[in-house]
Amino acid sequence: MTSERSAYSVSFSPESHPPVRLASGSNLSEYLSVENSPVLFGCRNGVCGTCLIEVQEEMNGRLREAADDEREMLDILAPDNPRARLACQVALCADIKIRYLGFASL
Ligand code: FES
C-alpha cells in the first residue's frame, strides 16, 4: 500500500526559482507562473508545446504516465527524451525536479 502525501514540491534546474510546494494532484499549469518558475505556458491543454519540461528527478511518489495525446506531442517535440513531459498535463503526485525545455528541442 502506498501512502500518498497531501503536498509535493517542484524544484527547478537550474535553480532559478525556489521550490514550489503544491497540494497533491495539482496541475502544474494552474500554479506555476513567470513569478515562481521558469516554465512558460501557452494553450494549457497539451497542443502547443510551450510548456515542454524534462523531469530530472521524481521522489516520494510517481507521476502518472503520459496519456496518448500527450505522448503523441512528446514524440514530435522530444522524441529522444524519455523524461520529457508537458507541464500542463502533469498532476503532481511526487516531489519532482524539472528543467524547462520550451521549444529548445525543436
Ligand atoms: S501549454 Fe500548450 S502544451 Fe502545455
Residue 105: inside a domain, yes or no?
Answer: no
Domain presence at residue 82: yes
Give the C-alpha separation, 82 to 93, whole Å. Answer: 18
Burial class (CB in 10 A: 0-12, 13-18, 19+), 24: middle
Is 27 a member of any domain?
Answer: yes
* CATH assignment at residue 84: 3.10.20.30
Type of residue at 65? E
Domain-embedded: residue 51: yes
| Nearest protein Cα to ligand 1, atom 3 | 46
Query: What value does the mean pLDDT take over residues 71-84?
Result: 96
Does 81 reside within a domain?
A: yes
Counting the structural domains of the chain, the total is 1
At 49-66, the pLDDT tens digits run 999 999 999 999 999 999
Please report whether residue 106 resides in a domain: no
| Residue 102 CA to ligand 1 centre (angstroms) | 10
More confident residue, 28 or 4: 28
Task: Enumerate the β-bridge partners of residue 9.
Answer: 21
Give the domain range for residue 14. 7-100
Does a structural domain hold residue 1?
A: no
Which atom of ligand 1 is least distant from the CA of 40? Answer: 1
Q: pTM, whole model, 2 decimals? A: 0.92
